Amino acid sequence: MASVVEYKGLKAGYYCGYCESREGKTSCGMWAHSMTVQDYQDLIDRGWRRSGKYVYKPVMDQTCCPQYTIRCHPLQFQPSKSHKKVLKKMLKFLAKGEISKGNCEDEPMDSTVEDAVDGDFALINKLDIKCDLKTLSDLKGSIESEEKEKEKSIKKEGSKEFIHPQSIEEKLGSGEPSHPIKVHIGPKPGKGADLSKPPCRKAREMRKERQRLKRMQQASAAASEAQGQPVCLLPKAKSNQPKSLEDLIFQSLPENASHKLEVRVVRSSPPSPQFRATFQESYQVYKRYQMVVHKDPPDKPTVSQVRLVPASFEDPEFNSSFNQSFSLYTKYQVAIHQEAPEICEKSEFTRFLCSSPLEAEHPANGPECGYGSFHQQYWLDGKIIAVGVLDILPYCVSSVYLYYDPDYSFLSLGVYSALREIAFTRQLHEKASQLSYYYMGFYIHSCPKMRYKGQYRPSDLLCPETYVWVPIEQCLPSLDNSKYCRFNQDPEAEDEGRSKELDRLRVFHRRSAMPYGVYKNHQEDPSEEAGVLEYANLVGQKCSERMLLFRH
């Protein structure tokens, strides 16, 4: 099994949806007739990305909005405060049907970058704090003196006598000077403390009680052990460890929960029976998403899909004539073949979000679902409300796209689905240990609304020159100063995976596979080698030797 690709070359000077520049975007692309998951894994590790069967790579030092490949480390991921809010909001909705007020949008920026960063670094800061013994002893002394003062004041308050309301009236009527008098009167119904119940205890007192119990437990255990008796342990105090992502997502719901959420993973290419059975319902969700979220007209919800799919179909000639061509095609199909307009719309939905060049693979050491392209469907009370388009590759889960029912935007499904995909990656890692990353597509620092992917930490950005991964914390200061950056700080470092032997590149020509060294002996066009060399440098030596470059 080999990948077969058709290199389309460099496309420069066309519309960018991020900064709305008319002629700012530049990229290289190729059409993948078929592709192995290992080849695609190596390609995205060199900055490539797919949209349907079209695979593209931004020219980073030329394009108006540089797009850096970003990956998250799911095994070390800790949800931030804003992530936890989204998960709790979903649990409340499922358990009680509660809908959070004042937050009815599901843009990825629901959780601000600042909140997320603060939350992610909180645990690290706790581990990194270093205090000298003098500071700790001073702090302990100040706390103890403060506690003693409070205990004295509490004793003074407790020594005051309860005064009956009648004696208060007598004193007020006697003309004696008034003094502050503390009066203890029973609370009104529904207000104040309930004297029939024990008073609230302060957290400090509860901590002291736990410490006292612990000391008693240790003393009792030591005495029992000395006498040769079995040790009877007291109940262990709860750990202060933060809840894991799985704890927050998979909390048990009451039997009478208001809603039921189920997440199913179905193979989209080649389409599985489950995918075929749910295609119509999934498409209707997408259609509503395009109309409400992206403002597409009801009759043509997919005409603009070419520019809406992340980093678009990179061909300016195609883009300029697409709307006219699509309208003509629709009229032809409706008039000649009696097709409904919706059938034409579905073909575009299928092309960009269902079709994939990735070959399905089921190795023995891989995940149970295998490798390839999938749809992760979110079923609420028996109906689909969201779909995440995913690629499962040898070393990662790669997120392609998400669409959802706008009626459920109050659940922040963009953030929620990302957290579920991180948890899904961790689940796959248990079966396939080498699968340990979550790829989120492109991080675009020059476009503020696209910085939300930096919330999921720890994460790395791909150096656009040497193709090594660099922690995002080290990259952000450079990106604040310049939108294009080389992240590798070693000035001597080079692209280790670059093409070194062009003659070993494989070509598919006239139904035969051959090395480029053989193919070029039959070519008379001098420009042929320049295009092949450009392709080889972009895909790297490994992919150029494995993939077949289709040549007419």
More confident residue, 127 or 190: 190
Contacts of 491 (CB under 8 A, 6+ apart): none
The stretches of 390-497 forming alpha helices (DSSP H) are 413-431, 472-481
Q: Which two tokens stand for residue 316?
A: 């300016």
Average pLDDT over residues 540-552: 96
How far is 262 from 380, CA to CA, in rounded Å? 6
pLDDT at position 163 over 50 = no
Q: Which two tokens stand for residue 279?
A: 């295609």
Q: What pLDDT does 224 receive?
A: 62
Q: What pLDDT does 171 receive?
A: 37
More confident residue, 110 or 417: 417
More confident residue, 118 or 12: 12
- The chain-wide mean pLDDT, for the chain, equals 80
Q: Is the dihedral of CA 22, 23, 25, 30 positive or negative?
A: positive
The stretches of 79-179 forming alpha helices (DSSP H) are 81-96, 113-128, 133-159, 165-173
Which single residue is written with the structure tokens 């914390």?
473
Q: What pLDDT does 149 receive?
A: 60
What is the percent of the chain with per-residue pLDDT over 90, rounded to a whole number? 62
Q: Which residues pair with 549 in a beta bridge?
A: 5, 507
Tens of pLDDT, residues 373-388: 999 999 999 999 999 9
More confident residue, 49 or 338: 49
Phi, psi of 545 (to 5 degrees): -85, -25
How far is 79 from 90, CA to CA, in rounded Å? 15
pLDDT at position 538 over 90 = yes
pLDDT at position 336 over 90 = no
pLDDT at position 290 over 90 = yes
Which residue type does 267 have? Answer: R
* Alpha-carbon radius of gyration of the chain: 32
Q: What pLDDT does 128 receive?
A: 34
Phi, psi of 387 (to 5 degrees): -140, 125
Compute CA distances 130 → 123, 144, 465, whole Å: 14, 22, 38
117 — pLDDT class (breaks 50, 70, 90): very low
Q: What pLDDT does 316 receive?
A: 44
Q: Which two tokens stand for residue 264?
A: 């199913």
Tens of pLDDT, residues 418-475: 999 999 999 999 999 999 999 999 999 999 999 999 999 999 999 999 999 999 999 9
Q: What pLDDT does 119 receive?
A: 30
Q: 3-class secondary structure for 151-213?
A: HHHHHHHHHCCCCCHHHHHHHHHCCCCCCCCCCCCCCCCCCCCCCCCCCCCCHHHHHHHHHHH
Tens of pLDDT, residues 230-248: 544 445 445 567 889 999 9
193 — pLDDT class (breaks 50, 70, 90): low
Indicate the Cα dihedral angle 337, 343, 347, 353, nearest 10°. Answer: -170
More confident residue, 147 or 200: 200
More confident residue, 335 or 56: 56
297 — pLDDT class (breaks 50, 70, 90): confident
Which residue type does 546 have? Answer: R
Average pLDDT over residues 86-101: 93
